[in-house]
A and B are shown apart, each in its own frame.
Chain A
Amino acid sequence: MYQTVYHRASSVDEAVALFSKSSEAKFLAGGQTLLPVMKQRLASPTDVIDLGKIKELQGVELSGDVLTIKAGTTYFDIMQNADVKKATPAIAYLTSVLGDPAVRYRGTIGGSIANNDPAADFPAALLALGATVKTNKRSITADDFFQGLFTTALEDGELITAVSFPVPAKAGYEKMRHPASRFALTGVFVAQTKSGEVRVAATGASQSGVMRVPAIETALKANWSPSAIDSVSISASNLLADIHGTAEYRANLIKVMAQRAVAAAR
């Protein structure tokens, strides 16, 4: 009843072809989300297509002002990567506070954004940095890619191959960790692009998933400093509320994390 066929693909083309031949396939990256869900019997794919051995999905490239992280790169490898640390240290920092060591060794950037958990860290980085998601078919801007809780622009069988981040002038990330899961109770990524644009994204806060925070963007555009955010008011309506944080608390965290991210931005 819950049997599944395991495939190990060796190229993107093979993975996509295997997917289209199966009735209800799932790509498997780090397995940190998919496998627990299968163990709980909340997902029962007929076929699991492991992306772990596909060379073209591994690695980081820095070329001019664009940092490209291939979809299958693990958080740990991103955290250790010299180009990431040089181009956008905030991304390296983000991976260092993501989950726990086991999750960081296995989990991947592709799996994270494909899953688009409303409390995941990477979606905030993509949105704030104005990244582009590359798939086997097309390029999708972060603004278009994330479409609400666990929902993305990906079509059935579409495979993320990489994410391209414009190298910012400055960026910072701060996160209040969920005490149990270590996801973001609220995390805020702030970025100033080389053309002077300011983009701010919050994760873990909104009922509709990762979101831009225009009020803070405006304040920071006028004055890139933590104190500029003091007078910003964030509404608690439409924010998440659960046993670990009320909506008012998350509204507060958006401001406080944004201030600390600005202070830490490099």
Chain B
Amino acid sequence: MGVEGIGASVVRKEDKRFITGKGRYVDDIKLQGMTHAHFIRSPHAHAKVKGIDSSAALKMPGVVAVLTGQEIVDDKVGNLICGWAITSKDGSPMKMGAWPAMAPETVRFVGQAVAVVIAETKNLARDAAEAVVVNYEELPAVADVHAAIKSGAPQLHPEAPGNQVYDWVIGDEGATDAAFAKAANVVKLDVTNNRLAPNAMEPRAAIADYDSAEEHFTLYTTSQNPHVARLVLSAFYNIAPEHKLRVIAPDVGGGFGSKIFIYPEEMVALWASKKVGRPVKWTGDRTEAFLTDAHGRDHVTHAEMAFDANNKITGLKVKTYANFGAYMSLFSSSVPTYLYATLLSGQYNIPAIHAEVVGVYTNTTPVDAYRGAGRPEASYLIERLMETAARQLKVDPAALRRTNFITTFPHQTPVIMAYDTGDFNASLDAAMKAIDYAGFAGRKAKAKADGKLRGIGVSCYIEACGIAPSKAVGSLGAGVGLWESAEVRVNPVGTIEVLTGSHSHGQGHETTFCQLVAERLGVPISQVSIVHGDTDKVQFGMGTYGSRSAAVGLTAILKAMEKMESKAKKIAAHALEASEGDIVIENGEFKVAGTDKAIAFPMVALAAYTAHNLPDGMEPGLKESAFYDPTNFTFPAGTYICELEVDAGTGKTSFVNFVAADDFGRLINPMIVEGQVHGGLAQGIGQALLEHAIYDASGQPVTASFMDYAMPRADDLPSFNLSHTTTLCPGNPLGIKGCGEAGAIGASAAVINAITDAIGKNNLEMPATPDRVWRTIHAA
């Protein structure tokens, strides 16, 4: 490893611009003649739109247009799609309720847009919006999954009787029933995985610019995957053919999944820009973020685990109700199915698993992938079950896990996934050592003497990332392939531009991706720049989510690098009058191995472009591209252990220690990995203790601002004690597994296991607010 190569904690190149306020986000962009959009949103969870009177608004100063849902439908802009087809157990396809970009007839959640005002300024648009009179006829609404599936419940979509999207199953029911019939012990648990609002720091925004002469659109948008956005806008929403639509996702301030999806606001901005003949800008505010960014999680689950007399797991049965909100968002259908139920084996040898997932419509904001997407729900369930089992079977929770760990690889689980490698004992050992697990009993006794309730909680998570082999996901219903693309452009003077289909919105690609180039060529990272986020500059790519950018995106870069290096070696060999096989790359030079004959990389590049003296038949130039499709998912795994104290008087939790031992395969930049883990842990702990997007029974959101929705702050969190136990991923040449979601996946179970240990009661829902913990302690 060089000072800037793989494994070096290089300071992030992009931070200078972020920290000095020089970042360029969508809202920073101002176009000539730009107008501003303000959406008129439903205050009702469920209502008929009887009429929209915009006559007064149209007379107000600066108003350019008021456009309605009926007009967007009349103009044949397509309904929003869900890109992963799920089939119910009876063989029927999932039931899709129509979702127009603005509601022409029926609104189904608070915040759904019915019309948009376009005006000269944002404030004038907002003023005029207050003068638009929308006549609603309120309908009964339902926000809770259990209420929604009851007979007689308000119905959301005629396409989905009983508000059911699908009833999907995985695993072998017969084998699972047989395991339960023979079980020595059965452990049962009901858990709710609380709904979360993602809250990226930068709210969503879009600027659409239609050029009537070229019939060409440019869209600046807060997207994690601009090419996918262009594809969907072109192929399904009839905005424009792909070559007439340029999508730019400039600096993007956080996504966590919520910026994967194509939202109504982008569609409306594009359509409106053509209608009014001027650029249209929309920047959401925090309230709109709470109301319209796709939420995460929201499962209600009953699970049972069967054990034999030796405390070995013999079977697992799971039934989950997943709340999808009012409409099926872009990848929502896959989250509680293929991203959740396929991980229900956890780190354990479980011979038989059967899971059933019922997807349900409710009058709430749509739910889709949020950091971890399905895997946090699976990991939380399994790790709560293991803890419950240890308590019921009266064995040490760490020992029970060890008894059941998968120790030989590859391992085929009964739920599709084939784990390639791992060492679950190693990460458990490392975490137990880091927290002095053996000394806990003494610490608990001492705390008790001081009047404190102390607890410890273990969570051994596994996840599947690096999504994903295109053929595999295609066979499971995905509408896209999940490969990645790269192009390596060597300039004539030897500087390098790497064009990637991955998109950085906090991950640090502009640094880590350069580190690979530095590692291979021995050039400083200052000689390399990463180009991403613009469909006009970068070849088609799939974007960033599911901790895929290093395992898939960086591997694509490696493949392109290898092609480029191979050509460069030929050029160097020709110049040095040596054989290609003898050329080695060292410290920015191409050398004849074992001699002092060398040519600097910039001279190789120059030779490629002057083309005065290339090997016969070689094309000039030095630019190569690659598409890389992984052969398997990657399986990051690890153990988190949390030690905390609960104040019996108030129910408040204080952390004593939090240790994380992760196996992410090879680390490119350990500092950036650490940052990713910190952020993930904050989100996992936030889910466990603080965050909850709540609706009342009539579908009104109760937590639509930071005054009510508790985001974790630095002083809510402990100092994290991180370590790594590494097994290299055999599935990609760099041995990378991915680290972006682990913290959010593994942390919440560790926290709840620790609190329930401290208070000596096993049943406690998230978020474990002081009030809830206090009531649990004092419940009869």
The closest CB in chain A to the CB of B767 belongs to A179
B707 contacts partner chain A, Cβ-Cβ < 8 Å: yes
For the complex, give the distance between the alpha carbons of A179 and B708 in Å. 8
CB interface residues, B 417-450, toward A, < 8 Å? none
Closest chain B CB from A189 CB (angstroms): 17
B769 contacts partner chain A, Cβ-Cβ < 8 Å: yes
A176 touches B652 (CB 8 A): yes
1/0 contact trace for A133-169 toward B, CB 8 Å?
0000000000000000000000000000000000000
The closest CB in chain A to the CB of B707 belongs to A181
User: Contacts of A248 on B, CB cut-off 8 Å?
Assistant: 775
1/0 contact trace for B737-780 toward A, CB 8 Å?
00000000000000000000000000000000111001100000
For the complex, give the distance between the alpha carbons of A181 and B708 in Å. 7
User: Contacts of B694 on A, CB cut-off 8 Å?
Assistant: 243
Stretch of A10-18, A190-198, A207-215, A249-257 lying at the B interface: A249-257
CB interface residues, A 59-107, toward B, < 8 Å? 100
Contacting residue for B703 out of A243, A249, A252, A253, CB 8 A: A243
B708 touches A249 (CB 8 A): no
Knowing A1-B127, A2-B127, A243-B694, say if A180 contacts B774 (CB, 8 Å): no
1/0 contact trace for B388-409 toward A, CB 8 Å?
0000000000000000000000
- Residue pairs across A and B with CB atoms within 8 Å: the count is 56
B594 contacts partner chain A, Cβ-Cβ < 8 Å: no
Closest chain A CB from B105 CB (angstroms): 28
Interface residue total, chain B, C-beta cutoff 8 A: 27
The closest CB in chain A to the CB of B708 belongs to A180
The closest CB in chain B to the CB of A248 belongs to B775
1/0 contact trace for A230-266 toward B, CB 8 Å?
0000000000000111101100110010011000000
The closest CB in chain B to the CB of A260 belongs to B649
B702 touches A252 (CB 8 A): no
B482 contacts partner chain A, Cβ-Cβ < 8 Å: no
The range of chain A's interface size is 20 to 34
Knowing A179-B690, A249-B774, say if A243 contacts B127 (CB, 8 Å): no
B769 touches A180 (CB 8 A): no
B771 touches A180 (CB 8 A): no
B531 contacts partner chain A, Cβ-Cβ < 8 Å: no
Closest chain B CB from A27 CB (angstroms): 23
Closest chain A CB from B451 CB (angstroms): 12
B709 touches A180 (CB 8 A): yes
B650 touches A256 (CB 8 A): yes
B775 touches A249 (CB 8 A): yes
A2 touches B650 (CB 8 A): no
Contacting residue for A176 out of B689, B708, B770, CB 8 A: B770
CB interface residues, B 692-738, toward A, < 8 Å? 692, 694, 702-703, 706-711, 713, 716
For the complex, give the distance between the alpha carbons of A2 and B128 in Å. 12
A253 touches B650 (CB 8 A): yes
User: Contacts of B775 on A, CB cut-off 8 Å?
Assistant: 246, 248-249
Knowing A179-B710, A180-B711, say if A2 contacts B123 (CB, 8 Å): yes
User: Contacts of B774 on A, CB cut-off 8 Å?
Assistant: 249, 252
The closest CB in chain A to the CB of B774 belongs to A249
For the complex, give the distance between the alpha carbons of A1 and B703 in Å. 29
User: Contacts of A259 on B, CB cut-off 8 Å?
Assistant: 649
For the complex, give the distance between the alpha carbons of A192 and B662 in Å. 54
User: Contacts of B651 on A, CB cut-off 8 Å?
Assistant: 249
User: Contacts of A100 on B, CB cut-off 8 Å?
Assistant: 713
The closest CB in chain B to the CB of A179 belongs to B710
User: Contacts of A2 on B, CB cut-off 8 Å?
Assistant: 123, 127
For the complex, give the distance between the alpha carbons of A248 and B770 in Å. 13
User: Contacts of B713 on A, CB cut-off 8 Å?
Assistant: 100
For the complex, give the distance between the alpha carbons of A74 and B37 in Å. 38
A256 touches B127 (CB 8 A): no
For the complex, give the distance between the alpha carbons of A90 and B574 in Å. 82
1/0 contact trace for B638-670 toward A, CB 8 Å?
000000000001111000000000000000000
User: Contacts of B652 on A, CB cut-off 8 Å?
Assistant: 176
Contacting residue for A180 out of B130, B649, B706, CB 8 A: B706
Knowing A179-B710, A180-B707, A180-B711, say if A246 contacts B771 (CB, 8 Å): yes
User: Contacts of B692 on A, CB cut-off 8 Å?
Assistant: 243
B706 touches A243 (CB 8 A): no
For the complex, give the distance between the alpha carbons of A180 and B693 in Å. 12
User: Contacts of A260 on B, CB cut-off 8 Å?
Assistant: 649
For the complex, give the distance between the alpha carbons of A183 and B412 in Å. 52
User: Contacts of A185 on B, CB cut-off 8 Å?
Assistant: 770
User: Contacts of A243 on B, CB cut-off 8 Å?
Assistant: 692, 694, 702-703, 708
Closest chain A CB from B551 CB (angstroms): 36
1/0 contact trace for B125-166 toward A, CB 8 Å?
011001000000000000000000000000000000000000
User: Contacts of B126 on A, CB cut-off 8 Å?
Assistant: 41
Contacting residue for B769 out of A41, A179, A252, A253, CB 8 A: A179
A244 touches B769 (CB 8 A): yes
A176 touches B710 (CB 8 A): no
The closest CB in chain A to the CB of B716 belongs to A179
For the complex, give the distance between the alpha carbons of A253 and B775 in Å. 12
A176 touches B650 (CB 8 A): yes
The closest CB in chain B to the CB of A252 belongs to B774
Closest chain B CB from A214 CB (angstroms): 22
With a 10 A CB-CB cut-off, give which of B126, B689, B702, B771 has the most chain A CB atoms.
Answer: B771
With a 10 A CB-CB cut-off, give which of A1, A185, A259 has the most chain B CB atoms.
Answer: A1
For the complex, give the distance between the alpha carbons of A249 and B769 in Å. 11
For the complex, give the distance between the alpha carbons of A181 and B690 in Å. 12
A244 touches B771 (CB 8 A): yes
A249 touches B649 (CB 8 A): no
Closest chain A CB from B698 CB (angstroms): 15
The closest CB in chain A to the CB of B713 belongs to A100
User: Contacts of A41 on B, CB cut-off 8 Å?
Assistant: 126, 130
The closest CB in chain A to the CB of B706 belongs to A180
For the complex, give the distance between the alpha carbons of A245 and B769 in Å. 9
Q: List 18 A-B contacts (CB under 8 A).
A: A1-B127, A41-B126, A100-B713, A176-B650, A176-B770, A179-B710, A180-B690, A180-B706, A180-B709, A180-B710, A181-B707, A181-B708, A243-B702, A244-B769, A245-B770, A246-B775, A252-B649, A256-B649
Residues of B within 8 A of A (CB): 123, 126-127, 130, 649-652, 689-690, 692, 694, 702-703, 706-711, 713, 716, 769-771, 774-775
Task: Give me the 8 closest cross-chain CB pairs, A-B, nearest first.
Answer: A180-B710, A179-B710, A256-B649, A249-B771, A245-B771, A181-B707, A1-B127, A180-B708
A179-B710, A259-B649 are known; give 17 further A-B pairs, CB within 8 A.
A41-B130, A179-B689, A180-B690, A180-B706, A180-B708, A180-B709, A180-B710, A181-B706, A181-B707, A243-B702, A244-B710, A245-B770, A248-B775, A249-B771, A249-B775, A252-B774, A256-B650
